[in-house]
């Protein structure tokens, strides 16, 4: 499930339908950004996983092909996300 702040960001900034956010999942890892503590996040669609959701236990277990948004939450709670959905679209040959 997504936290309230992540869900709100997806709806207001990236225009993800509220109903769609219930299908998405998030995984986090602790880290540092510019010397300050931060939590790195990946928002992904479990239906795009090549394995089942139970196999996703850590941040790097989510294949990049399933990640729709990626970013960090800074120590002050500021959320920085980037939209990776365009990278998931099939390319024309």
Q: What is the pTM of this model?
A: 0.85
Using 50, 70 and 90 to split pLDDT, how confident is the model at 78? very high
Contacts of 12 (CB under 8 A, 6+ apart): none
Task: Among 22-31, 35-44, 79-88, name the one with the lowest average pLDDT.
Answer: 79-88
Supply angle C-alpha 72, 56, 21, rounded to 5.
60
Q: Average pLDDT, whole number, for the chain?
A: 89
Question: Does a structural domain hold residue 93?
Answer: no
Contact (CB, 8 A) for 9 and 2: no
Query: What residue numbers bound the domain in which 32 lies?
Result: 4-88
- Which residue matches tokens 């795009």? 48
Question: Does a structural domain hold residue 39?
Answer: yes
pLDDT per residue over 52-71, tens digit each? Answer: 777 788 998 888 888 999 99
- Into how many domains does the chain fold? 1
Using 50, 70 and 90 to split pLDDT, how confident is the model at 93? low
């Amino acid at each position: 499930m997504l936290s309230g702040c992540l869900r709100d960001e997806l709806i207001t900034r990236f225009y993800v339908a509220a109903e769609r956010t219930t299908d998405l999942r998030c995984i986090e890892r602790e880290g540092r950004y510019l010397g300050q503590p931060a939590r790195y996040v990946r928002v992904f669609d479990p239906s795009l996983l090549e394995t089942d959701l139970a196999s996703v236990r850590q941040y790097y277990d989510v294949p990049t092909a399933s990640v729709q948004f990626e970013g960090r939450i800074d120590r002050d709670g500021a959320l920085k996300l980037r939209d990776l959905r365009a990278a998931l679209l099939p390319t024309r040959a």
